[in-house]
Amino acid sequence: EAGVVQSPRYKIIEKKQPVAFWCNPISGHNTLYWYLQNLGQGPELLIRYENEEAVDDSQLPKDRFSAERLKGVDSTLKIQPAELGDSAVYLCASSQGWGQETQYFGPGTRLLVL
Amino acid sequence: DAKTTQPPSMDCAEGRAANLPCNHSTISGNEYVYWYRQIHSQGPQYIIHGLKNNETNEMASLIITEDRKSSTLILPHATLRDTAVYYCIVRVEGSGTYKYIFGTGTRLKVLA
């Protein structure tokens, strides 16, 4: 069974540029999560989707971050414009939902903002 | 804020049992304890979870104290490939949704 797929794996951009990350969850998983992981820290939830609906986006900095999950499958996380402090690993995870809440993580996208 | 406290690092000899402690003294009655590990440059990998009873699977055992204020993850025969950061997580429920609250984890180094 394929795991959570993320792309790109690495991204280097200059500050003020836009950037987008893509995630394909495990087939059949209704719940999708985006996390931010700073160096030496545990992941922090940015947004959680149940199918197409964002049910928890309280930690998403909405002035520059946006996310979408069209058709309830793939998801895209965007930053515009990027700042130096956005350099981090962006992780996507998915779970079956409906009480089966074990999350399975992708490999992450490592972003470096110069 | 993290609901768990873990030692920042531990060493374990290859072939020996690795016992990783976690304190979660403010855990609520319906909150699960999950363990994940993260090997360098990879995403976190699920290990095991539990509510009240001790649990065992092919990777590890989870021992939860009777008062649920602490738990221990046991890797019975540690190998070099078990070197990773281990996260003890409380799954928090609220407003009809679930959330993992990660701490900073324990960096386990398995020594040859």
Q: What is the pLDDT of residues B34-44, one digit of tens each?
A: 999 999 889 99
Best mutation target among B5, B6, B35, B46 (most A Cβ atoms within 10 Å) is B46
> In angstroms, rounded to a whole number, what is the distance separating the alpha carbons of residues B64 and A63?
42
**What integer is the mean pLDDT of A1-14?**
93
Closest Cα to residue B46, out of B84, B8, B19, B9? Answer: B84
Is any Cβ of chain A less than 8 angstroms from the Cβ of B50?
Answer: no
**How far apart are the CA of B109 and the nearest CA of chain A, in angstroms?**
16
Above 90 in pLDDT, residue B101?
no
Above 80 in pLDDT, residue B95?
no
Above 90 in pLDDT, residue A22?
yes
Which DSSP string corresponds to chain B? Answer: --S-B--SEEEEETTSPEEEEEE-TT--TT-EEEEEEE-TTS--EEEEEESSS-EE-SS-EEEE-TTSSEEEEEETT--GGG-EEEEEEEEEEETTEEEEE----EEEEEE-
Mean residue pLDDT of chain B comes to: 92
CB contact under 8 A, B91 and A107: no
pLDDT per residue as tens digits for the range B8-34: 999 999 999 999 999 999 888 888 999
